[in-house]
Amino acid sequence: MSEQKVKIFKPKDYETEFNPEAYLQFYYSSKALDDGTRLSLFALPMFAYLIQTKVPENLRQSLIDIGAGPTVYSAISFRDVVKRVYLTDYVEKSLTMLDDWLYQRTPFSWERAIHVIARTEGLHLKNDKEVIAVEEKARKLVENGGIFKADVHTENVLILNDQQQHPVDKTYDIAVSVFCLESACSTHDEYKQALKNIISLIRPGGYLILGSVIDDVIYNSGMSLVGDSKLFTLLDLDEEFIVKSMDENGMDLTTMKSYSLNNDGVAFFMIAKNS
Ligand X SMILES: C[S@@+](CC[C@H](N)C(=O)[O-])C[C@H]1O[C@@H](n2cnc3c(N)ncnc32)[C@H](O)[C@@H]1O
Binding residues (CB under 6 A) for ligand X: these are 11, 14, 18, 40, 67-69, 71, 89-91, 94, 150-153, 178-180, 183-184
Q: Using the minimum distance from each CB to ligand X, give the nearer residue, 62 or 77.
A: 77
What is the nearest approach in angstroms of ligand X to the Cβ of residue 126?
28
Dist. CA 54–CA 238, nearest whole Å: 29
What is the nearest approach in angstroms of ligand X to the Cβ of residue 1?
32
Which CA distances in Å does 34 have to 184, 219, 221?
A: 28, 20, 18
Give me the phi and psi of 197, to 5 degrees please.
-60, -45
What is the nearest approach in angstroms of ligand X to the Cβ of residue 127?
27
What is the nearest approach in angstroms of ligand X to the Cβ of residue 33?
13
What is the nearest approach in angstroms of ligand X to the Cβ of residue 178?
4
Q: Using the minimum distance from each CB to ligand X, give the nearer residue, 153 or 196.
A: 153
Q: Using the minimum distance from each CB to ligand X, give the nearer residue, 90 or 172.
A: 90
What would you measure as the largest C-alpha separation in the chain, in angstroms? 65
Q: Using the minimum distance from each CB to ligand X, give the nearer residue, 14 or 84.
A: 14
Q: Using the minimum distance from each CB to ligand X, give the nearer residue, 178 or 199.
A: 178
Label each residue of the chain as H, E or C. Answer: CCCCCCCEECHHHHHHHCCHHHHHHHHHCHHHHHHCCCCHHHHHHHHHHHHHHHCCHHHCCEEEECCCCCCCHHHHHCCCCCCEEEEEECCHHHHHHHHHHHCCCCCCCCHHHHHHHHHHCCCCCCCHHHHHHHHHHHHHHHHHCEEEEECCCCCCCEECCCCCCCCCCCCEEEEEEECCHHHHCCCHHHHHHHHHHHHCCEEEEEEEEEEEECCCCEEEEEECCCCCEEEEECCCCCHHHHHHHHHHCCEEEEEEEEEEEHHHCEEEEEEEECC
What is the nearest approach in angstroms of ligand X to the Cβ of residue 247?
23
Closest residue to ligand X, based on beta-carbon distance: 69
Q: Using the minimum distance from each CB to ligand X, give the nearer residue, 68 or 117.
A: 68
Q: Using the minimum distance from each CB to ligand X, give the nearer residue, 11 or 206.
A: 11
What is the nearest approach in angstroms of ligand X to the Cβ of residue 102?
17
